[in-house]
Structure 1
């Protein structure tokens, strides 16, 4: 139990606009999908960037927003922390999505936005270690979203609505939607290793996972141009593919989807000849007992997760978008 020493404060009475939505932008495919779908709605969209990198700035510009029209927040590390690093102390893990949640809530109050629309998918709910509650993506999960919403409404502002716009969808559906926005295909970035150099490293779980997810929806030539190589030919990534496709017991400690999604994407890509079954990583994955079939691919593509916090207007937008995907 946490017992605060300070006096109890009243919740904020700032007037918030229900028609205004704050959309955090990271520069990956998920926030691209959210921004593109919401900008054509009746909502007034405010892109929000925390310590923006080039990919995030490109995302808002391509979507038709200027940096002046967005809300940009910059954070810096305390000098004391840097001194501790110099003395040899190690940093603990920073739950960045949780930090983003608090900063976005503060920003929403300042900008008068009632809605904060994240871009976390249903796949983020799956634990990283099987048969446990250990989840690398906990602060992107519905459980965190539920708790944080409760906290905001009780202690900050009763009209603040924190939710993930993409929560009803899985990674396969988001990749299908992203394929409909070709103007973003060469500008987005999801690689943590290459984040400081604005590049795809082509050797990490995020690069491999993103390549696989997009493979049923984008031509192989285009994928190679986006990532700089055919990642599925890289034999050195076999152990990584085992972690992604379910052969290994533990998923990578990265923001990646489920083995079911990975195997379904590979199966579909081979079926429509987007990728060659003889590529080393594909050949290895097809030896898995968990390899999916046509029925699984279509089940995932038409699945709708009912565990979400979308209001009726947002729900209508996401349902229409997924129904219109040309697959």
Structure 2
């Protein structure tokens, strides 16, 4: 007999999503989906008329790009784990390499969403016989030497932009806005974030989302009560039910459209080395569970492989893959200075929810490298080290567990737990008045005391500093004409060790 949990799952999860329409009209990509009988329309408006750009002048290029865009946007349904993704209607315009990449990407994107409802792995059946072999679909001229930078409201995007600027590399900026949820500080006014507007750049581009699928998931989640199932399945979880799926990879294909239109061979994101490993290993299945699997070097290599087959001279890379978060935080002061205090990095509230692991993580990383009173102002006057009843979050961030338990990195965009320990070590030395704060009492008794003498503690953190404060020159897929000037600039700053 079906249980209450079975009912909730049935009401939330999807059996089949089917892409019926993928077209381009003027400046907008129009997609129409059937999700278990529910008709959904998603539109994506670009800052140019497609047919006016040489790369999209031919109808074939527009049709194929719309089909590829639609196929990749199927990842927006990942939270509802559809068993089948039917792309038959656009299969004439889909290259085989895209289907291969989509299968890989679904497994990566689905890691967290499968885990949160007790499934092992999402591996949907993709229904399509790809027939597009007139490749490449899009081409960027070989002699172009400009870069596209994704720029939201966070520190990593601003760091990428300033690294390029200070290394003498020309760039365009872009940002997206969704009408139903706040990705930047723009709920009512459909304009860019203040940070985006404040950066002096000649070329800025905005892309607007209007997705029925987002409201569809929200309604289905509410009506099914699936979040209460999540709370029972994962008691004590420090993060809420995840649902905004597919954003990173959708951003990559949006970037590809902008790159082709403005003849920009490289698109740059700010994905860090700290995201390389799983957040934890599921003890039952042995599967690595990842919140940020799309940030890994392996993912970058796979998208390079796919893009290299279906496009020409068009790449997606992370400028920050050679650096752990520790190194990134150290670069912030010499590269972007006090402008860091205009940034915000919370995925759950704007500018900060002040409750999630990411808020606490960024607060610690910034305090280790900037004046703590300025950081408190950045967080709206909240000193997160003094917040009550937050031991669960700090323990998770610091890898403090009970005997026999395995540490789990928070299911958020946070760095390695040893990096947080290193932040605390540096904060302890800079601000001894914080030693009585709740998380620092935990740090002393659970991390420092077991290490032994002060000399042993110094040796431990020296090792962490060497590992996480380095520049890993080989760990990236960045073309040399971008990588080498940036490496040279960072080397000149003399704030990181060089691997």
What is residue 98 of structure 1 aligned with on the other side? Answer: 249
1:268 aligns with 2:420: no
Q: Of the candidates 184, 190, 195, which is equivalent to residue 345 of structure 2?
A: 190
The secondary structure found in structure 1 opposite 2:268 is strand
What is residue 12 of structure 1 aligned with on the other side? Answer: 137
Q: Aligned-pair RMSD on alpha carbons?
A: 2.6
Q: Of the candidates 163, 167, 173, which is equivalent to residue 327 of structure 2?
A: 173
Unaligned runs of 5+ in 2: 1-99, 101-125, 178-182, 187-191, 227-241, 402-406, 452-456
Classify 1:6/1:300 alpha carbon distance in 2 versus 1 (closer, same or farther; 3 Å): closer
Q: CA deviation at 1:246?
A: 1.3
The structure with more helix, counted as a fraction of residues: 2
1:161 aligns with 2:295: no
Q: Of the candidates 270, 275, 282, which is equivalent to residue 119 of structure 1?
A: 270
Aligned 8 A contact 2:367 2:427 in 1: yes
The structure with more strand, counted as a fraction of residues: 2
Q: CA deviation at 1:261?
A: 0.9
What is residue 356 of structure 2 aligned with on the other side? Answer: 204
Aligned 8 A contact 2:166 2:489 in 1: no
Aligned 8 A contact 2:325 2:468 in 1: no
In the alignment, the residues of structure 2 paired with residue 73 and residue 275 of structure 1 have an alpha-carbon distance, to the nearest angstrom, of: 46
What is residue 377 of structure 2 aligned with on the other side? Answer: 225
Residues 1-327 of structure 1: pairs in structure 2 closer than 5 A: 4-8=128-132, 9-12=134-137, 14-16=139-141, 18-51=144-177, 53-54=184-185, 57-65=193-201, 69-78=203-212, 82=215, 86=219, 88=223, 94-130=245-281, 132-155=287-310, 157-180=311-334, 181-195=336-350, 199-227=351-379, 228-248=381-401, 249-273=407-431, 276-286=434-444, 287-288=446-447, 292-304=460-472, 306-323=474-491, 324-326=493-495
Q: CA deviation at 1:162?
A: 1.0
Classify 1:86/1:62 alpha carbon distance in 2 versus 1 (closer, same or farther; 3 Å): closer
Aligned 8 A contact 2:140 2:259 in 1: no
Greater mean alpha carbon deviation, residues 69-78 or residues 52-61: 52-61
Classify 1:259/1:322 alpha carbon distance in 2 versus 1 (closer, same or farther; 3 Å): farther
Aligned 8 A contact 2:357 2:393 in 1: yes
Aligned 8 A contact 2:428 2:434 in 1: yes
Classify 1:192/1:15 alpha carbon distance in 2 versus 1 (closer, same or farther; 3 Å): closer
The secondary structure found in structure 2 opposite 1:75 is strand
Deviations along 1:200-227, one digit per CA (max 9) or x if unpaired, are 2222111100011112211121111111
Classify 1:312/1:232 alpha carbon distance in 2 versus 1 (closer, same or farther; 3 Å): same
In the alignment, the residues of structure 1 paired with residue 252 and residue 342 of structure 2 have an alpha-carbon distance, to the nearest angstrom, of: 25
In the alignment, the residues of structure 1 paired with residue 185 and residue 215 of structure 2 have an alpha-carbon distance, to the nearest angstrom, of: 25
Aligned 8 A contact 1:18 1:115 in 2: no
The secondary structure found in structure 2 opposite 1:113 is coil
Classify 1:84/1:326 alpha carbon distance in 2 versus 1 (closer, same or farther; 3 Å): closer
Higher relative contact order (CA 8 A, sep 6+): 1
Unaligned runs of 5+ in 1: none
Which structure has the larger Rg?
2
Aligned 8 A contact 1:235 1:281 in 2: no
Q: How many residues align?
A: 320
Classify 1:61/1:182 alpha carbon distance in 2 versus 1 (closer, same or farther; 3 Å): farther
| TM-score (ref. length: structure 1) | 0.88
In the alignment, the residues of structure 2 paired with residue 316 and residue 83 of structure 1 have an alpha-carbon distance, to the nearest angstrom, of: 45
In the alignment, the residues of structure 1 paired with residue 383 and residue 218 of structure 2 have an alpha-carbon distance, to the nearest angstrom, of: 38
In the alignment, the residues of structure 2 paired with residue 259 and residue 104 of structure 1 have an alpha-carbon distance, to the nearest angstrom, of: 32
In the alignment, the residues of structure 2 paired with residue 178 and residue 282 of structure 1 have an alpha-carbon distance, to the nearest angstrom, of: 24
In the alignment, the residues of structure 2 paired with residue 61 and residue 10 of structure 1 have an alpha-carbon distance, to the nearest angstrom, of: 37
In the alignment, the residues of structure 2 paired with residue 303 and residue 63 of structure 1 have an alpha-carbon distance, to the nearest angstrom, of: 27
Greater mean alpha carbon deviation, residues 178-187 or residues 118-127: 178-187
What is residue 83 of structure 2 aligned with on the other side? Answer: none
Deviations along 1:89-108, one digit per CA (max 9) or x if unpaired, are 67955131112112111221
Q: CA deviation at 1:313?
A: 3.0
Aligned 8 A contact 1:29 1:175 in 2: no
In the alignment, the residues of structure 2 paired with residue 230 and residue 81 of structure 1 have an alpha-carbon distance, to the nearest angstrom, of: 34
| TM-score (ref. length: structure 2) | 0.59
Q: CA deviation at 1:305?
A: 5.6
Classify 1:19/1:6 alpha carbon distance in 2 versus 1 (closer, same or farther; 3 Å): same
Classify 1:171/1:85 alpha carbon distance in 2 versus 1 (closer, same or farther; 3 Å): closer
Classify 1:325/1:281 alpha carbon distance in 2 versus 1 (closer, same or farther; 3 Å): farther
